[in-house]
Amino acid sequence: MMNKPLDEHSFNHKGQFICLTIFLAVWIADSFVLKYTTFYSQYIPVWFRIIIFILTILSVVLIIRAAILSFPENKDVDNVISDGVFKYLRHPMYFSCIVLYIGLSLSTVSLIAFFLTLPIFLFYNQIAKYEEKSLMERLGKPYLVYIQKSSRWLPIKVKNDINI
């Protein structure tokens, strides 16, 4: 018997698109055109910033690939996925977006783009909380156990003191 489908926040996809659009517009304008907050870039060698950019892109691709490979082919998952990257992160796709925003900001040393990641992170955090509540209602105790063994944002094991 299938449980009810995951209740995604109604603003999830639109919000992600808006965040990406605003971030890219600010990052490109500040990093390559206006250069208002990139004054620290003169102290960081270009080769180092290129390495940051490459590592950012590689990290994002690897996280997304790991998340996709962790999902079974049947999209109507009726149990907790806790293998692969999901063993450590409950929201690897959102995490990869945050890594992208921070990495791009650091690669051009755009302070305004870097600080823009804070409200973007808060948006992703609200969406993640909303989805976790939905998953808790859908999957129950197995999801609570999963929450205790994984982290919402940092790819490290955390120990929660939630009593079941």
Q: For residue 160, is it within any domain?
A: yes
Band of pLDDT at residue 2, cut at 50, 70 and 90: very low
Q: For residue 138, is it within any domain?
A: yes
Residue-number span of the structural domain to which 108 is assigned: 46-71+79-164
CA 144 to chain centre: 21
Overall domain count for the chain: 1
Q: For residue 32, is it within any domain?
A: no
Which residue type occupies 126? Q
Is the Cβ–Cβ distance between 38 and 115 less than 8 Å? no
The CATH number for 115's domain is 1.20.120.1630
Write down the pTM of the prediction: 0.86
How far apart are alpha carbons 62 and 91 in whole angstroms?
14
Q: For residue 22, is it within any domain?
A: no
Band of pLDDT at residue 164, cut at 50, 70 and 90: very low
Residue with tokens 């929201």: 91
Is the Cβ–Cβ distance between 30 and 38 less than 8 Å? yes
The pLDDT of residue 158? 54
Q: For residue 4, is it within any domain?
A: no
How far apart are alpha carbons 69 and 101 in whole angstroms?
23
Give the max Cα distance, the chain.
61
